[in-house]
Each structure stands twice: as structure tokens, then as C-alpha cells.
Amino acid sequence: MIQAASPIAETARAHLEGRVPIGREEEPVAEIVARLSTEHHASLDPVWVVDAAGRLMGVVPTSELLAAARDLPVASLMRPPPPTVDAETDQERVAIVAHQHRLAAVPVVDEERRFLGVVPPTALIDVLLREHDEDLRRFTGIMGSANHATQALAMPPLRRVLNRLPWLLVGLAGSILAAGVMAGFEARLEADVAIAFFVPSIIYLADAIGTQSEAVAVRGLSLEKAPLGRILWGELATGAMLGSLLGLAVVPAALFLGASPGLALAVAGSLFAAGATASGIGLLFPWILSRVGLDPAYGSGPVATIAQDLLTLLVYFACVVVFV
């Protein structure tokens, strides 16, 4: 059984539907079929089979039940039960279980495996849409959450400002530090202005690699609970390989634009290093937040972006010092 703790409003309990067909193991098919036509159910498929204590033992597709001999006990038709969740499982985790196991509805049981009901398909779709909207808001650095994207659009301008400004202030502070890094290399920039030409491209590519790593980390850490070591090496290696390929591609382009061979090597080297470091930042920011109990989606947006930008600038100018 998959267990997790979260507020009731965002757990399986909030979406629990108990009006589903239930049959006891020893019941004949005829009795269950009779109830299907006389009782009101939110859905008719499948029939959930329980023992005398109410523990979930299996399921029977309704089509097979209707086609079976009426005197057979339902236990002879049942299949093993699908993966279950408890009532306190986080709603997003419930939706992921449904997706992974191709379930139209996810069964909910208590600590003794007594069947409580299911999280129905409509609830699963609603959860996925709301969680997707919330992740999008966090990825773009907007505080708070909303049930629907249209609510964010309907907010008055002042409320929108208050939601976005704190993260942007963090970005502003980081941009001031980035300006300080540039000022520290003023002499080299004056000696070779071409050094500045490649700053926007390097920063953009590092941010793009980091954003891809964030997307992998956010879902991998918050939903699959994948260990950090298993995905850290893969993301660092991926970032380094991407940086290497981009670095090889940029050398002839830099030479064509008039850069010296040393500067072309500096750009290529910085792309290699920035690819790996951006992947590390994109992964570690969500991991740190996950470890302290916050949603790892908050690790993206302006905070991670400005950290990547600062480190990318330092790496680039360090390469310039070495090669130029």
C-alpha cells in the first residue's frame, strides 16, 4: 500500500466515492447482479470483492459478471486487486498511481485493508489539471496556487504584483551580483570587447539545460521518490555531453564571427562546464526543497535561474582568463 501524509483537502479522502458495486467472496453472481439493477452507483464497473471483514480481495469486470453462470460464487471470477492507496495519500500521488497502472479508478483502503471506496476518473482528471496549473505557476515564479488558470487571469493587477514580486526581487538581487561579476572583468572586456558578445548565448544555453533538469527533478523527486544519487550522475553526465556538443558547434561559429582561437576555446569550455553545473543546480534546488518538506517545484523560476546565471558568468570569465 502507498502511504503519504498531507492536508485532507489534497488527499484521497477528499475525492473518495463509496457508491460502487461491492460483492462478498461467498456471494453468488445472481445476488450481485440483482443489486446492480436496484441500487444507485456512481459507476458500475468493476465490482469490488471483499471478504467478511470488508477487506479488499479482488475485482471482477462487470461484463464478465453478467456473462457468468448465476449460481457461481463471485470469488471464482475475481482477479487480484490493483494497487491501493490509503485515505491520506496525496491526491497527486493517487493520480500518478492511476497513470502507472492504467487504472480508471484507484481503490482506497484503511490500515487493515478494509475497502473504503475509490477515487473516480473525474476526480483523477481534476487533480491532474489542478496540479499541472499549480506547477506552471511555480515554474514561472508566481506565488500561491489557484484551482484554475483563469483565476490567475481574473485577479486584480495589484494581487498579481504581490504574487510575482517576491521572486522577482530575488532575481533583481542576483542580477545586481551578475553586474558586479561583469564589472570585475572590466579590464579584460575593454581589452577585447568580443568577450561580451558571447555572454547572452552562454547564459541562455545554460538556463535552457538547467530548466530541462528542473523538469526531470521536480517530477522524479516529488512523485517517484527517486534517490538523488541515481539521477544526479545521469543529469550531470547529460549536461556535460550537451555542453560538449554545443561547445564543438560554437567554435567554428565564433571563429567566423571574428573571435580569436583562444576566445573560441573559452566559449567552448564554458559551455561544457556550464552544461554540467546548470544540470547540477537544476537538480539540487528541487532536491533541497524536497528534503526540507517543500514542493520541489518551487526550486525553479527566478531563484534557480539567477543562480545558474551567476555561476555561468563565473565559469565563462574563468575560461577567458585561462585561454585568452
Per-10-residue mean pLDDT of the chain, 324 residues long, equals 48 88 90 86 86 90 89 90 89 86 90 90 83 61 47 68 75 85 87 89 86 66 59 81 91 90 93 84 71 58 78 91 88
64: which 3 cell numbers? 464478465
The Cα–Cα gap between 164 and 148 comes to 17
Q: Do the beta carbons of residue 87 and residue 147 sit within 8 Å?
A: no
Q: Which residue has the cell 504581490?
A: 162
Domain span(s) for CATH 1.10.357.20 in the chain: 164-323
Please tell me the pTM assigned to this model.
0.57
- What's the pLDDT score for residue 7? 45
**Residue 133's Cα: distance from chain center in Å?**
12
Class of domain 8-125: alpha beta
- What's the pLDDT score for residue 226? 56
- What's the pLDDT score for residue 307? 83
Q: Where are the beta strands (DSSP E) in 15-65?
A: 22-24, 47-50, 56-60
Closest CA to 82 of 69, 70, 67, 100: 100
Domain span(s) for CATH 3.10.580.10 in the chain: 8-125
Class of domain 164-323: mainly alpha
C-alpha distances (whole Å) from 188 to each of 231, 316, 320 are 38, 12, 9
- What's the pLDDT score for residue 316? 92
The Cα–Cα gap between 38 and 17 comes to 19
